[in-house]
Structures are given as C-alpha cells and as structure tokens.
Amino acid sequence: MKKLLTFKFKLYILLALVALAFVLLVTYGATWLAHNWTVMPTKEYEKSLNHEAAVTNPPLSSLPVEVQVNRVGLKSEAVRADIVWKIYGLESSFGKNDDCKREGKFNGFGYGQHKTGWQCFDTFEQAVAQVHKWLESRQHLSVAQALCLYNQGKIVNDCPYYQRYLSL
C-alpha cells in the first residue's frame, strides 16, 4: 500500500511538472515567437535575392552578401526585414538592453532615442513597423547611407555602424 501511495505521489508530481512546462511554453513561447518571427528574415528574403540575381549581371548570388544587399537596396521588403533585425541586434543586443522595458514598453531599435527625446512603443510590433517605415521612406539611399543616417544623423557612404552591421 505504501509503495502504491509513493508511486501515485511521484506520478502527480510528474504530471504537475508537465503541466507547468506546458503553461510556460504556451505563455513565453508565444511571446518569443511574436518577437522573433516578426522581424527575422524569411524565405521571401532568399527569393528576392534570387529574383534580383536573375535580373542583374553578374549573377547576384555569386557576389558577397553585403554587395547583394546593396545591389537590391532598400526597395525589397525582405531586405528591409533583414536590416531591421540587424539594427535590433546592433542597438539593443536583440532586446537585452532595451531600456523601454523598464516602463513595460518596447523599442530596442534606438528609434527616436536621442539627447532630446526618448521614444518607447506600446508593442514590439509598433517599433518594428516604425523602423520599417523609416527605411522604406529612404529607398533612394544605399544600405550604407541609410544605416549611417539612422545612427549618426548624416548621409555618408561608410561609417563604423555600417561596418558593425556587415559583421552580423
């Protein structure tokens, strides 16, 4: 009888741990997916590069990645998604150093954060959309020029921020 009670107790503990793991997975897994899948590059990114490769000469796929992105520019939404994801890494180590989280808000992209103002967004998606919109409005610039403008506030062809971007 004692062995049966011990077995039942262990079984209940195991079931409770499985239930707890499931609740944590549902709660935090959905949050992780919402944040990471929003801006991560997708297969559309690869397709857009492959499409551009078919149109240009020499084939785009034979060029280094940074040249591919510069040749496609900011016109491709998939390329902008990749740039936004890397800005997120450069500005906040992918959200680890997002000071807006102290207020229960989001940024992590350094967007609108400077000496005269500090902008935080109610949702992560709002921050992503704002950076996408900023990049989209500067399609006439090269990737290097856009990133230098984003970080330094001036259009130049190369800057340390762009070089760090290339290293990601």
Shared domain for 94 and 31, answered yes or no, is: no
Please determine, for residue 25, whether its predicted confidence score (pLDDT) is greater than 90.
no
Shared domain for 17 and 69, answered yes or no, is: no
Which helix (H) or strand (E) segment holds residue 114: the answer is strand 113-114
Beta bridge partners of 121: 106
Shared domain for 61 and 115, answered yes or no, is: yes
Shared domain for 85 and 115, answered yes or no, is: yes
Shared domain for 49 and 118, answered yes or no, is: yes
Mean pLDDT value across residues 161-168: 90
Tell me the pLDDT band of 161, cut-offs 50, 70 and 90: very high
Shared domain for 51 and 116, answered yes or no, is: yes
Residue 4's domain spans which residues?
A: 1-39
d(CA 15, CA 72): 53
d(CA 123, CA 106): 6
Shared domain for 56 and 91, answered yes or no, is: yes
Shared domain for 35 and 66, answered yes or no, is: no
Higher per-residue pLDDT: 61 or 31: 31
Cis ω for the linkage preceding 41 (within 30 of 0): no
Shared domain for 50 and 89, answered yes or no, is: yes
Mean pLDDT value across residues 138-164: 90
Coil, helix or strand for 7? helix
Shared domain for 89 and 143, answered yes or no, is: yes
Shared domain for 32 and 58, answered yes or no, is: no
Domain total in the chain: 2
Q: Per mean pLDDT, which range of 37-41, 89-93, 129-133 is the poorest?
A: 37-41
Give residue-wise pLDDT tens across range 52-100: 444 444 444 444 445 444 444 666 777 888 888 999 999 888 888 888 8
